[in-house]
Chains A and B, each alone.
Chain A
């Protein structure tokens, strides 16, 4: 413990010197996170992106962050604080910051704002998100091949379009190799509660799932899979350390390329407001190494990944029926981004009801 404390102290001291190192003309880049960076999930991955900026552009840039910023009245103050203290590029990394970003951006026209997962833009506000559903299609296909019972357990957080889209994409992937594939979904109503996630994992296994996937942040379900000797997919970060025999792959949030690019844009004076929704091709979604699976499944996964990356394959290509049998996407057509963004129905084959 003592060494860790020392390491912690050293890290804090180092951060202190970085922060106070005089940086007259350096560009100041600010971040606000909704969770603690110690969540090892959503906020942690964004902070990894921040560190990547420092590593790549440390000569010209300093970064700072505010963590645990609640999505209420405090967000606006936090953003304004960053803008007032000379940050010229500010990343707001949670959906709930949306209106605060728009308000503060109006008051600071010379500051560039970047809002993750939102849909409101302005001249100095860009939005960005990642097409995690691309990764989920791949893991769906893997699940379709690997699951002996043909049934996956899905630990979900909240029924928002992002999560529903992920479930559908996973299911479409699985059905492409096993048309009778089944899926059981449990909503834990939290992004982040290791205990609850572990409970949900155990319940799903008890109900017959022999493969687990999750849209929550902690590695607890992976640990349960490892313990019970079944397979699982990691989420947000590579969780192989938590499931050396269980993890097949993981859908990794990788914000670094986008963050570095946008910082470079500001440095070069070429920053423009836009909406970025990048996936595997942009490097914003990464797949952890394919492990614990037969060679031919691995090959299939890699080929699928490559097909999506090159644009040959779009997971939401018709015909797609919803669970009531209504045709939602015509044969050969691809679902529009707008429809994808607001998705609130399940594809055919999912027997659960979507909580509304």
Chain B
């Protein structure tokens, strides 16, 4: 295995959970909702996926269960923000707390047990090609799913009527409501989709990335996913690029260390965050671009007034 190939493989593994969670949150935010609870949904997805994979012996079933768990744990958030028009920032933070606590509670009996790893989809012949073989083929299904979902979300948002409605709801819910679109139903579905994807991201951690369960194993990835969505100005393909950029910067930092440059590790760890701020500034300097892509209603509750 040569260096470039190993590097790319490591980046893919680091980027996939970010991408999965961020694509989900992107849809949520496009509908005008800010859900800061990604970390909580991810943690819940991770433990449920781990437990089900271990119990049934099928990591695939585990990943499915993790996705569902991510959506289920988002239900209180849906109830609060959509039915009761509660503040989204605070509800999201509460969801993060709740999900992390719940995952620890469920996971109590699973600490210290090796999990079941998701199988790789090797394609005989193709997987053996030099460089492109291992980089393009031979990943597990969640890696491919992350790419597929990125494309699917891009297609959905910009090529379908339903996607247009979702974006309209996020741009101006009053206008969308006046046109007869069910604002709260659209947002509810978007939040649940976000939960599914965050759950999948968690599942990726516990059945593929590092098949084990330890408390707080999400280690802040939910927050990075949130950053990514804005970094990408709510464009799916840019989320993909951003996730891989984040992953690449992080892995490059590790390489630089192993090569013995003696940089303070704190500086390397701070790089992705600084990069996000810079990118954010560069993007937001272009007002037209920002206006075209920013869900203007983000964070604002909608209540059909009469």
Contacts and interface: CB of A to CB of B under 8 A. Distances in A.
Q: Verify whether A and B have any Cβ pair under 8 Å.
A: yes
Contact of B109 (A4, A39, A227, A355): A4
B125 interface: no
Contacts of A220: 210, 212
A44 interface: yes
Interface stretch (B185-193, B252-260, B283-291, B292-300): B252-260
Interface in A302-332: none
B164 to A, nearest CB: 37
A204 B113 CA distance: 25
Chain B binding site: helix, strand, loop or mixed by DSSP? Answer: helix
B110 A4 contact: yes
Given A194-B214, A199-B251, A202-B13, A36 B104 contact: yes
A205 B6 contact: yes
B87 interface: no
Given A1-B55, A4-B109, A203-B251, A198 B209 contact: yes
B104 A199 contact: no
A192 B214 contact: yes
A351 B260 contact: yes
Contact of A218 (B105, B106, B108, B210): B210
A203 B260 contact: no
A219 B112 CA distance: 9
B215 A194 contact: no
Contacts of B214: 38-41, 192, 194, 218
A194 B210 contact: yes
A196 B215 contact: no
A153 B111 CA distance: 26
B68 to A, nearest CB: 13
Contact of B10 (A185, A194, A206, A356): A206
Given A1-B51, A40-B112, A198-B209, 15 more contacts: A1-B48, A4-B110, A5-B106, A8-B105, A36-B216, A38-B215, A186-B258, A189-B265, A193-B217, A194-B214, A195-B209, A219-B114, A241-B114, A351-B260, A355-B262
Interface of B: 1, 3, 6-7, 9-10, 13-14, 17, 48, 51-52, 55, 104-114, 117, 205, 209-212, 214-217, 219, 221, 250-251, 254-255, 257-266, 269
